[in-house]
Amino acid sequence: MSHSFVQISDCHIDDFKNTMGVNTHVNLKKIISRIININIDVLLISGDLTHNGTITSYKTLQQILSPVQTRLLVISGNHDIDNNLNAIFSKNLSNQFTLGKWEIITTNSVQKSKTSGFLTKDELIKLDFSLTQSTAKYILIVLHHPIVPMNSTWDDLLSLENPKALFNVLDKYPKIQAILFGHAHQAAEFSRLGVKIISCPSTALQFNNEVRIGFNHYTLHDNGQLTIDTQWI
């Protein structure tokens, strides 16, 4: 028995179609047209849904996502404006959800008016509590910011500022199989103490030499195995 979900990230939809030199609207539509042909349980967007956080851009995003019939879950990124995000996607915001023997738990790493991430003491306490309460056999953690050096042209100063504080919490829970994030606009995979650490590409554009757009498709197996398929367009 297995379950699967798709993670997309950093869509950067704006009131104008062209953002950062690309048509983010057209690019996301291409991604969505691929995703709707995959049998998944959940579509997860790991932050930077929009570029400037306007109500109009969230409504545009909602329209682009409309062909997706599966459950949609979103978390905020540093480009998002929470009030506007909540106004349009309130029913899609969730700190945790269950897929079979797996639970996906999210944590908010966004700092107000800053590009880099930080997990506040309150956020870490909340995460710790969610992990303590979880009855799932296996757990995935999702946040917006990278938690390890990306070993690329990415500026690691723009990643999570306090990864050690996060690991101090996560290291207590052997159920955790992987940690997923976006923000760096590139596909990469790392490992730490047997836990997979996975970066999701952007649906808009990548910050490394990759010229394609992409997303991550995960399959969660009942035996604790996790398989990742990064798909490119």
Q: Which residues of 100-120 are buried (b: 16+ CB within 10 A; e: fewer)?
A: ebbbbbbbbbbbeeeebbebe
Mean pLDDT of the 140-156 span? 97
Span 184-199, mean pLDDT?
Answer: 98
Domain ranges of the chain: 2-232
- Model pLDDT for residues 106-121, shown as the tens digit of each residue: 999 999 999 999 999 9
pLDDT of residue 207: 97
- Residues whose CB falls within 8 Å of the CB of residue 101, separated by 6 or more in sequence, listed in order: 136, 137, 138, 220, 222, 224
Instruction: Quote the DSSP letter at residue 152.
Output: S
- Supply the pTM of this predicted model: 0.98
Tell me the CATH number for domain 2-232. Answer: 3.60.21.10
Terminal alpha carbon distance of the chain:
29
Give per-residue pLDDT as tens, 32-42: 999 999 999 99
Between CA 41 and CA 6 the distance in angstroms is 8
The SS3 of residue 232 is strand
* The pLDDT of residue 94 is above 90: no
pLDDT of 214: 98
Phi, psi of 40 (to 5 degrees): -130, 160
What is the rounded average pLDDT for all residues in the chain?
98
Interval 125-133 mean pLDDT: 98
Is it the case that residue 181 has pLDDT exceeding 90? yes
* 46 contacts: CB under 8 Å, gap ≥ 6: 7, 8, 9, 10, 75, 77, 142, 143, 144, 180, 181, 182, 200
